[in-house]
Chains A and B, each alone.
Chain A
């Protein structure tokens, strides 16, 4: 049995202890059957989990810091995200990566209304709020209200562009560089970039 997360109605459905136990039993059993049939091995599952856990925000931060300090890289990144990301040693599993740039006048926000598409090969698994019904349902209709809940209040002088990752593209937001970008080391710049910047819930 699963239950609706407390106080959020059906905004985010999580399994309770019983549901997690059931999930664990069923996936182990499924793995057993698939191994028995010779369709996969336990080693392959372990290796695939390691592969799923390897990406993370540090990779997104590396891309952003590079774009902030190398104008030619940034120009190419906005044209062809995937090759430019691979070029700095990050493996990309998605068909294409579209990098969208925040400016003084534009703020980008990424969502997926139909399921929870996310640039997983670069950033890892999405946060739980990204897969919540509340985020999926509301971002496309009231992005400014959603942003406000994340503490991001935008004035009338900033236009919001919402990107629904409904098909084959996956998206990354390129946040605005800090004013003192030239004074900071690559390491310091990377430390400024959070997952919330890359999804666009933070400016």
Chain B
């Protein structure tokens, strides 16, 4: 899959927004406001925020797998220094870090 028309490329540092959207969203609270690095572009998918209210016409949105340092996500915890977490984030929840 090419990155030609994508906002982010593998290796880009990205910041997860807290869009404050009510209703069904798939971006858990624990990952919001954190900065990670894109590890994979997953393709375009219908936005679950639309699907949850029966809107199936799209548009499809870019989805990325993003890696975060556990030590950043849980900075108050004694976590192993190199442990990581990977999660999928839709394009509109990301900004360049």
Binding site for B on A (CB under 8 A): 95-96, 98, 113-114, 140-144, 156, 159-169
For residue B58, CB closer than 8 A to chain A, the reply is no
What chain A residues lie within 8 Å of B86 (beta carbons)?
Answer: 161-164
Complex Cα spacing A169 to B42, Å: 8
> At the interface, yes or no: B90 with Cβ under 8 Å from chain A?
yes
Residues of B within 8 A of A168 (CB): 42, 45, 63, 88
Contact pick for B43, options A96, A142, A165, CB 8 Å: A96
Least CB separation from B44: chain A residue: A168
Question: A153 CA to B10 CA in the complex, in Å?
Answer: 32
Pick from A156, A159, A162, A167: contact of B45, CB under 8 Å: A167
Inter-chain residue pair count (beta carbon < 8 A): 73
Give every chain B residue within 8 A of A143 (Cβ-Cβ).
70, 83
A180 to chain B, nearest CB (A): 30
Which of A142, A160, A167 interacts with B48 by CB under 8 Å? A167
Q: A96-B42, A113-B28, A166-B28 are in contact. Are A141 and B88 (CB under 8 A)?
A: no
Please, how many angstroms separate the alpha-carbon atoms of A113 and B86 in the complex? 12
Chain A min CB distance to B70 (Å)? 8
Q: A166 is contacted by which of B26, B70, B79, B84 (Cβ under 8 Å)?
A: B26
Decide if B26 touches A164 in the complex (CB within 8 Å). no
CB distance from A131 to the nearest CB of B (A): 16
Whether the Cβ atoms of A141 and B74 lie closer than 8 Å is: yes
B82–A169 CB distance below 8 A: no
- Other-chain contact of A144, B27, B42, B48, B80 (Cβ < 8 Å): B80
Chain B residues lying within 8 Å of A113, measured Cβ to Cβ, are 28, 30
How distant is the Cα of A156 from the Cα of B83 in the complex, in angstroms?
10
Question: Which residues from chain A contact B45 at a C-beta distance below 8 Å?
Answer: 95, 167-168
Chain B residue nearest in CB terms to A162? B85
Q: Bound state CA distance, A116 and B90, in angstroms?
A: 19
In whole angstroms, how far apart are the Cα atoms of A169 and B64 in the complex? 10
Q: A98 — which chain B residues lie within 8 A by C-beta?
A: 40, 65
Complex-state Cα separation, A192 to B31, whole angstroms: 35
State the CA gap A166–B42 with chains docked (Å).
13
Q: Indicate if the CB atoms of B77 and A142 lie closer than 8 Å.
A: yes
The docked-state distance in angstroms from the alpha carbon of A163 to that of B85 is 6
C-alpha gap A159/B28 in the complex (Å): 23
Q: Are A161 and B85 in contact (CB under 8 A)?
A: yes
